Amino acid sequence: MPGVKEPEEPFSEARLGRLETLGAWLGVWTPPKGAVVPPFPRRRAAVGGVVLAAAIAAAGVVAIPRIDDAKSKSAAAERRALAERRAAERRRLEAEQVAVRGRAAKPAGRLTRVEKLSARRALLRKVEGAIATDARRRVRAGAMTGRILRAECAPSPGIQERGGERDLRVPRSGYDCLAVTRDIPATGTNTSGRLGHPFRAVLDFRRFTFAFCKTNPPAGERAVPDPRVTPPLPPACSAP
C-alpha cells in the first residue's frame, strides 16, 4: 500500500573459506560485498612465528654440523686424492730420471795435448750417441714422443766457463743435452733453434766414465719445480 514501508530482508553474512580469509589478510584477494573478514589473529601468528623460528633454529643446529662435516670429509678426500696423484707422478718421474751409466776406453800411453782433447771430444760424442739411443728406446716404449734426430750436449751454464772436452784442466763436466726431434730454421726475425727432450750428462774425463738422466724441467722460463712432485736428479747426474 502507498506510504507503507516493506519489511527489509534479514542480513546474512557471506562465509569465507580459509584460503579466501588468508587472501584477504594478505591483501591479494578482495572479499565480496557483505563478507566479514575475521580479524587477523596476531597473538596466534606471533606464537606460530616463534615456534617456526625455533623449529628453523633446531633444524640448523642439526643440519649445519652435518653440512660442515660433509664439507670437511669432502675436502679431506680431495686432499688425499691430490696427494695420491702427486705421489704417483713423483714415482713416475723418479723412474724416468734413473741414471744411465757407461764408460769408454781410456786412452793409454803418452799423448799430446791435441790427442787428449780429441779423446775427450770422442767421449762426449759417445755420450750424445748413447742419449739418442736411449731416447729412441723411450719413444718405442711410449714414454716419449717424436722422431729422435740426434742428441746434442753443451756445458751446463753457470758451472764452468768451458767443458772438459775443451779444457784439460777440467776433470769432470756437467752438460745440458737435448734429444732433438725438430730443427727450427732461422728467419729474418728469429734465430734457429731446436725442439726435443732434455737430458743431463756428467762426464768424468779422468776415468772416462759418464752418466746421464732424463730431466723434467717445469714449464715456464722462471718456473720453480714443485718438490712434492718433481724429484731431484740422482747424484750421478748432479752438478760436478
Given 96, 112, 129, the domain boundary residue is 96
204 plus 164 within the same structural domain = yes
Q: Are residues 81 and 106 in the same domain?
A: no
Q: Is residue 198 domain-shared with residue 214, that is, in the same domain? A: yes
Distance CA 86, CA 133 (A): 30
Domain shared by 186 and 113, yes or no: yes
How many domains does the chain fold into? Answer: 2
The pLDDT value given to residue 11: 47
Cβ neighbors of 185 (< 8 A, separation 6 or more) are: 192
Judgement on whether residues 128 and 68 belong to the same structural domain of the protein: no
Tell me whether residue 133 is in a domain: yes
**102: phi then psi, degrees, rounded to nearest 5:** -165, 175
What is the per-residue pLDDT across 190-238, written as a single tens digit (0 to 9) for each? 888 999 999 999 999 999 999 999 998 876 555 566 777 788 899 999 8
- CA-CA distance, 79 to 94, in Å (whole number)? 22
Q: With bands split at pLDDT 50, 70 and 90, how would you rate the model's confidence at 3?
A: low
Q: Strand runs (DSSP E) across the chain, as ranges?
A: 100-103, 150-155, 172-184, 193-204, 209-214
Residue 136 belongs to what domain range? 101-220+230-237
pLDDT in tens, 87-141: 888 888 888 999 999 999 999 899 999 999 999 999 999 999 999 999 999 999 9
CA 171 to centroid of chain Cα atoms? 41
Asked, for residue 7, whether it belongs to a domain, the answer is no
**CA gyration radius for the chain?**
43
Separation of CA 139 from chain center: 25
Task: Decide if 9 is inside a domain.
Answer: no
CA dihedral in degrees (30, 33, 34, 35; nearest 10)? -20
